[in-house]
Amino acid sequence: MLGTDLQTVLAGQDVTALGRSDLDVTDLDAVRSAVAGHDVVINAAAYTKVDDAESDEDAAFAVNATGAKNLAIAAREAGAKLIQVSTDYVFDGAATSPYAETAPRAPISAYGRTKAAGEELATAEHPEGTYIVRTAWLYGQHGPNFAATMLRLAGSHPTVSVVVDQLGQPTWTADLARQIVLLAESDAPAGAYHGTNSGQGSWFDFTQAIFSEAGLDPERVLPTDSTAFVRPAPRPSYSVLGHDAWAAAGLPEMRDWREALADAVASGAVAKPAA
């Protein structure tokens, strides 16, 4: 989702877009060769199977941590910026107010540990040129995601049950792509930035908003809690991220998630399945 939207935002610029079949980020020599000659490297690659990572942490670490380290080494050698896309899962979810960019990492899952390690290793290798962009709750046009799943279920189920006890910031990948490019083209200092749409809501709130924007009855969305969906990896119950670093760098934070969702639906990036 994010990689495709980045290509759209960067249309007209000299861009090399490499997928998994084009580049193994765990291969340092291959990474060095791919990065050479570039000014900015955006790492949107990740092992994102959160539950699988609990039993296959080594594989997740190879991509999320070693891969990030390799890209930082290559970016430093090429004199390039590295924008490392990271996640709310580097935090424990125990907060009650938005996580600052400087908040200590305290992951509670294997996936979170590997992404936290990626942040640490990349920053250590290229401290003056690594930009950590933490994001969360992504949805968009070009891949499987929560919004698409809910609309698919709406076509086959009279009601859907969604948790109310996890809070976060639904984030449209098109907005995130624009924010990443804004950061890449700015003179902002290296460090951590939180790339999420503003505001907050539960998965229940998000689903009701999806239904409403799609012209469906939001009362078909029923509240439940996380005990109804027990999964191998623990999820942070609070994933609201603060945005102070943008203002400090003289850049605007991302807009409210409800405004973004309305535009995503209106543009067709989130659409009801055909009847």
Q: Could you list the active site residues?
A: 111
Record the tokens describing residue 69, joined without a space: 């380290």
3-state secondary structure 57-81: HHHHHHHHHHHHHHHHHHHHHHCCE
DSSP lists the bridge partners of residue 86 as 134
Q: How far apart are CA 105 and CA 90, in angstroms?
A: 5
What stretches of the chain show up as alpha helix (H) in DSSP?
A: 2-9, 28-35, 50-53, 57-61, 67-78, 110-125, 146-154, 173-184, 203-213, 244-248, 257-267
DSSP lists the bridge partners of residue 221 as 160
CA angle, 204 as apex, 3 and 151 as ends, to 5°?
55
